[in-house]
């Protein structure tokens, strides 16, 4: 059946109540092909495989062959991987000493890339000994890999630790011709800035061993690819962004489940999956959580003997491979997945992609949508909007979605909180020579490190003089390091980080794994193990948490006209106090939980809103809590442009105090110990609040929208929010702090 007919037929289903809010038709596009030069053996290989290069691929190859650093940002499934593998293999074929380093953001992606590289290697009849080298690589295999592998695949976390052992990598680094960084859109904000510092440290090592490899980057579409590539590596780049692969027509539906209140949004997602699969369409459904991936797979009915599979992080590699293979061969007709399938995993194109819940960024949305489309056939994307203001806004304003810019990737190499740790690492690797630029000069930072005897300045440069391991003191991201092993009869079923275990592997939780339900018998935090048993129950559980924030120490404060602004150390705690037992979306029972709170200490800026302002606001019939909450969101949305970070690097909290009066808005760093963003907010608050007032007051929306007060990561589903209340508060603050939001 044609996609168009399937959509018409869908409208005839008993559970159809005009949920389709919008249909966007993305026209088909003819392919353009191009020529590139490479070794005859590669030419033979491509002919053998029946591959003809699209013009964007051949352009990328030619630019790389011309010695340019290249960033490729064409969409998923446009052949990015081949475009950078051809010139790399071409070089390795002709230069027997030449090496290449591939860097992927996750271990799973590294393994996936290894398969791809091995396939090409086989096809070319080469012996390059490509290997993954990461935390899972056994110690005994490492020397052999460093010596014999001409392609090593690793990740930034590993490299961060390996660099100080560079003398063991002398041969590899000294003969390195290419560094391939894939999925670089994930290197943004604090994490990305840390990765950028790792890359600069790597560059010093290359210099030390007299190599100067070319960089090849690949990324999802972002607003500022050239700027990002330069910030990340310190080099100039050529951009390849135009996609010349062929594309069939794509139908993009906006689905509003609220029009049919009998079924929850998740339930309707399951129905959509079943419906498309039963019409012979291979379907991939993206969900917002691991649990939803399992539930949707469970709730959807499969096709003939092929059930809907789940796919998510935490699965064992062989389980993942199986699903990937099944999708490629077409044996698997439907998969419910988390964004683990959003990145470069090779699964081929699908007939239908369902995006169940707005994934938080435009970049992600298009990455996921890009999975739909195979050959010249029509394909279908369905965005199922959830019951929150942000999703609903996009459903009602499709142009805001389709015309919206992709997000910016922001990096900050001036944040001393980030750079100083890496300077200590750099000095562990090689002395930091006087006036040496590691991206830039960091004289003051080096002086301060010397002041604390972490470095010692000598004629040979600044030497590391600490007694600790610098790389162990620097974390690249804020992912919880504790891994809980889930054991079934003593065998490893899967792994998850601690917060995930709090949500999904607490005592008596139902844990879904590949369609089977397990009941957690015990979560042992000491042993970092959850013991489960297999038990089919007809309910599932959901843990309920509440966040609280406690000020530990105020480091600085300023006060102006009754508005207090503070900076200090806080402790953010998440209490998991209860869990619900649910059947579909109905709560059937609630039980208490006995778990210590998940806590982290960080730095925070907070400012107070006087009681007089809030009571007046309430007298006028507005919602003070909604007003404070809205300001919190809007401030956070603007902070990345002031403190050079990612929205996901910061957290917020607002509270209306009773009975002492007034309200507080807190902006904190989502990193243990703080990373300097909140401190920047403290310094720039007046300016930031003025921009916030402009942003909200000038926004054309009625009651709020994603451009002003809706947050894509609100723990409270964007409620309560009061746009007018926010404007009222900000105007009153402006009177005291000296701004009016009109640039005066």
Please give the residue ranges that form the binding site for other proteins (CB under 8 A): 164-167, 170, 208, 416-417, 420-421, 424, 428-431, 444-445, 447-449, 451-454, 456, 458-460, 463-470, 472-474, 481-482, 498, 525-526, 596, 598, 672-674, 676, 679
310/425 with CB nearer other proteins: 425
What per-residue string of b and e applies to 431-458 under the rule 16 or more CB within 10 Å gives b?
bbeeebebbeebeebbeebbeeebbbbe
Reported as half-sphere exposure (CB side, CA atoms, 13 A), residue 213 has a value of: 30
**Rg of the chain taking only CA atoms, in angstroms:** 27
Give least dist CB 570 to other proteins, A: 15
**Closest to other proteins by CB, 361 or 471:** 471
Report, in Å, the least distance between residue 293 CB and other proteins.
Answer: 26
Minimum CB separation of residue 174 from other proteins in Å reads: 10
Contact partners, residue 61, CB within 8 Å, separation at least 6 = 36, 37, 38, 53, 83, 86, 87
What is the closest distance, in whole angstroms, from the C-beta atom of residue 674 to other proteins in the complex?
8
Joined tokens for residue 220: 């999802």
Bridge partners of residue 664, in order along the sequence:
608, 655
- For other proteins, the closer of residues 140 and 467 by Cβ is 467
CA–CA separation, 528 and 539 (whole Å) = 26
Torsion, CA 220, CA 221, CA 226, CA 227, rounded to 10? -90
Q: How far is the CB of 384 from other proteins (least distance, A)?
A: 36
Q: Which is nearer to other proteins, 220 or 650 (CB)?
A: 650
Q: Is the peptide bond before 659 cis (omega within 30 degrees of 0)?
A: yes
Decide whether 78 or 417 has the Cβ nearer to other proteins: 417
Q: How far apart are CB 139 and other proteins at their closest, in Å?
A: 11
Q: List the alpha helices (DSSP H) in 667-710.
A: 677-698
Sign of CA dihedral 194, 196, 199, 200: negative
Is-contact 411 192, C-beta < 8 A? Answer: yes
CA distance 431 to 328: 50
Sign of CA dihedral 606, 612, 613, 616: positive
Nearer to other proteins, 426 or 614 (CB): 426
d(CA 598, CA 546): 11
- Using alpha carbons, list the distances in angstroms from residue 56 to 33, 39, 369: 8, 19, 20
**Least distance in Å: CB of 417 to other proteins?**
5
- Residue listed under structure tokens 């007034």: 662
Shortest gap between Cβ of 474 and other proteins (angstroms)?
Answer: 8
- In the complex with other proteins, the residue whose CB is nearer, 553 or 700, is 553
Q: How near is the Cβ of 604 to other proteins at its closest, in Å?
A: 15
Output 417 or 500, the one with its CB closest to other proteins.
417
CA distance 225 to 410: 10
Nearer of residues 211 and 416 to other proteins, judged by Cβ: 416
For residues 244 and 655, give the distance between their C-alpha atoms in angstroms, rounded to a whole number.
Answer: 51
Q: How far is the CB of 526 from other proteins (least distance, A)?
A: 6
Q: Which is nearer to other proteins, 447 or 521 (CB)?
A: 447
In the complex with other proteins, the residue whose CB is nearer, 449 or 665, is 449
Q: How far is the CB of 440 from other proteins (least distance, A)?
A: 16
CB of 566 to other proteins, least distance (A): 16
Considering beta carbons, is residue 90 or 429 the nearer one to other proteins? 429
Strands 238-240 and 70-72, sheet pairing: parallel
The number of beta carbons lying within 10 Å of the beta carbon of residue 261 is 9
Comparing CA positions, the residue from 117, 77, 124 lying closest to residue 101 is 117
Nearest to other proteins of 430, 645 (CB atom): 430
Cβ within 8 Å of residue 376, ≥6 positions away: 28, 246, 248
Nearest distance in Å: CB 544, other proteins: 20
At closest approach, how far in Å is the CB of 680 from other proteins? 11
- Rounded to whole angstroms, how far apart are CA atoms 172 and 409? 31
CB-wise, 1 or 472, nearer to other proteins? 472
Strand ranges for 452-585 from DSSP E: 455-458, 461-464, 483-488, 491-497, 510-513, 516-524, 529-534, 540-560, 563-583
State the Cα angle at 426 between 425 and 430, rounded to 5°: 120
Query: Across 17-159, where does the E strand assignment appear?
Result: 20-26, 70-72, 99-103, 131-132, 151-154
């Amino acid at each position: 059946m044609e996609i168009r007919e399937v959509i018409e037929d869908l409208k005839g289903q008993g559970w159809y109540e005009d949920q389709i809010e919008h249909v966007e038709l993305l026209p088909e596009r003819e392919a353009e092909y191009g020529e590139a030069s490479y070794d005859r053996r590669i030419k033979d290989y491509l002919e053998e495989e029946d591959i003809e290069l699209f013009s964007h691929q051949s352009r990328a190859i030619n630019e790389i062959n011309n010695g340019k650093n290249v960033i490729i940002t064409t969409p998923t499934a446009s052949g990015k991987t081949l475009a950078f593998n051809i010139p790399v293999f071409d070089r390795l074929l002709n230069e027997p000493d030449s090496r290449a380093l591939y860097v992927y953001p996750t271990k799973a992606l590294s393994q996936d890339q290894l398969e791809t590289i091995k396939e090409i290697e086989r096809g070319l009849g080469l012996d390059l000994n490509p290997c993954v080298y990461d935390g899972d690589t056994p110690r005994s295999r490492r020397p052999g890999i460093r010596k014999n592998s001409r392609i090593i695949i690793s990740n930034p976390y590993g490299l961060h630790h390996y660099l100080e052992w560079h003398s063991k990598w002398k041969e590899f680094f000294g003969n390195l011709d290419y560094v391939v960084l894939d999925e670089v859109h994930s290197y943004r904000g604090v994490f990305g800035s840390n990765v950028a510092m790792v890359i600069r440290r790597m560059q010093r090592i290359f210099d030390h061993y007299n190599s100067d490899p070319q960089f090849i980057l690949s990324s999802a579409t972002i607003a500022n690819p050239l700027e990002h590539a330069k910030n990340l590596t310190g080099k100039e780049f050529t951009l390849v962004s135009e996609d010349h692969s062929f594309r069939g027509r794509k139908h993009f539906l906006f689905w509003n489940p609220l029009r049919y209140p009998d079924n929850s949004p998740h339930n309707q997602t399951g129905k959509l999956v079943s419906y498309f699969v039963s019409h012979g369409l291979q379907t991939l459904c993206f969900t917002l959580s691991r649990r939803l991936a399992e539930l949707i797979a469970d709730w959807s009915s499969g096709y003939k003997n092929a059930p809907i599979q789940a796919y998510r992080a935490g699965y064992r590699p062989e389980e993942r491979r199986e699903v990937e293979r099944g999708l490629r061969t077409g044996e698997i007709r439907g998969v419910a997945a988390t964004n683990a399938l959003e990145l470069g995993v090779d699964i081929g194109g699908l007939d239908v992609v369902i995006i169940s819940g707005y994934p938080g960024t435009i970049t992600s949305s298009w990455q996921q949508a890009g999975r739909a489309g195979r050959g010249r056939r029509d394909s279908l994307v369905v965005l199922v909007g959830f019951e929150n203001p942000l999703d609903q806004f996009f459903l009602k304003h499709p142009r805001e979605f389709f015309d919206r810019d992709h997000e910016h990737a922001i990096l900050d190499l001036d944040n001393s909180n980030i750079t100083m740790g890496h300077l200590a690492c750099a000095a562990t690797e090689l002395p930091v020579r006087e006036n040496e630029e590691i991206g830039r000069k960091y004289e003051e930072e080096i002086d301060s490190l010397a002041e604390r005897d972490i470095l010692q300045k000598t004629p040979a440069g600044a030497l590391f003089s600490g007694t600790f391991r610098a790389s162990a003191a620097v974390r690249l991201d804020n992912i919880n390091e504790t891994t809980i092993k889930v054991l079934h009869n003593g065998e490893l079923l899967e792994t998850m980080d601690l917060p995930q275990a709090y949500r999904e592997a607490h005592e008596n939780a139902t844990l879904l794994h590949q369609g089977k339900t397990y009941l957690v018998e015990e979560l042992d935090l000491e042993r970092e193990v959850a013991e489960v048993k297999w038990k089919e129950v007809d309910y599932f559980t959901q843990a309920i948490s509440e966040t609280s924030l406690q000020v530990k120490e105020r480091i600085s404060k300023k006060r102006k006209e009754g508005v207090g602004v503070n900076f200090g150390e806080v402790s953010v705690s998440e209490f998991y106090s209860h869990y619900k037992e649910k059947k579909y979306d109905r709560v059937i029972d609630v039980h208490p939980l006995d778990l210590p709170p998940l806590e982290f200490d960080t730095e925070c800026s907070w400012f107070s809103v006087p009681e007089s302002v809030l009571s007046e606001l309430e007298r006028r019939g507005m919602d003070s809590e909604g007003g404070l909450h809205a300001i919190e969101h809007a401030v956070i949305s603007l902070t990345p442009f002031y403190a050079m970070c990612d929205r996901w690097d910061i957290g917020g909290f607002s509270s209306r105090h009773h009975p002492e009066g007034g309200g507080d808005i807190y902006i904190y760093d989502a990193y243990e110990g703080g990373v300097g963003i909140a401190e920047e907010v403290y310094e720039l608050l007046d300016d930031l609040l003025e921009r916030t007032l402009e942003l909200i007051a000038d926004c054309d929306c009625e009651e709020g929208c994603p451009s002003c007060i809706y947050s894509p990561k609100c723990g409270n589903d964007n409620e309560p929010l009061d746009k007018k209340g926010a404007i009222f508060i900000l105007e009153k603050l402006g009177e005291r702090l000296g701004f009016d939001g009109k640039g005066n």
